[in-house]
Chain A
Amino acid sequence: ETGVTQSPTHLIKTRGQQVTLRCSSQSGHNTVSWYQQALGQGPQFIFQYYREEENGRGNFPPRFSGLQFPNYSSELNVNALELDDSALYLCASSPGGTGGQETQYFGPGTRLLVL
């Protein structure tokens, strides 16, 4: 059984650019959540996808968007990058759907630096 994987591991961008981060969910999982973890902080919920539909969203602006594909892998897109977007971006997958009690399994993260 393969765990959650994320790519790339590190990324450097400049202000105003756009970035796409990728996540492959654990085998058998159809729900993917994305979190942003700023330095010295806990992860902060961005949004969740369940069976290719956005299932919930945290307090992030619309320039943070996502996709989930039929194989349940997911992308996080951030447009018009700002310095404050520099963070570790975590993807977590879980086996169930809405309102589930399922454990979330985290990937290793993508560290984004915006200059």
Chain B
Amino acid sequence: AQRVTQPEKLLSVFKGAPVELKCNYSYSGSPELFWYVQYSRQRLQLLLRHISRESIKGFTADLNKGETSFHLKKPFAQEEDSAMYYCALRSGGYNKLIFGAGTRLAVHP
């Protein structure tokens, strides 16, 4: 079964601390993974995708096929990073996304 698991509902850190939001997936085939973010009172938006291999707002994510993981990392958290983060997997021959349950990141001053 195709599934995305985000084991932490809440991750609470202090400003300047490193952040790692965990994401594990189950997929038979070549997965395409994404991180979406939802800031307070804003709509869901794409943060980054694994095929781009880029850093956005200081966040990076590496696809580890051996561990079936796509963890999101940032070395120094900022207060403005506080948001809901969703890991997603593109499935099928069309543009269908399978989302995890999300992790709320709270960055404290």
Contact = CB atoms under 8 A, between A and B. Distances in A.
A105 B101 CA distance: 19
Interface string A66-98: 000000000000000000000000100010101
Contacts of A43: 44, 86, 97, 99
A56 B95 CA distance: 9
A62 interface: no
Interface size bracket, B side:
20 to 34
Nearest to A96: B95
A3 B96 CA distance: 20
B86 A42 contact: yes
Interface of A: 3-4, 31, 33, 35, 40-45, 48, 50, 55-56, 58, 90, 94, 96, 98-109
A100 B95 contact: yes
A45 B96 CA distance: 7
Interface centre among A50, A105, A106, A108 (most CB of B within 10 A): A106
B101 A90 contact: no
Contact of A104 (B4, B86, B97, B98): B97
B45 A45 contact: no
Nearest to B38: A106
Nearest to A46: B96
B57 interface: no
A103 to B, nearest CB: 5
A65 to B, nearest CB: 17
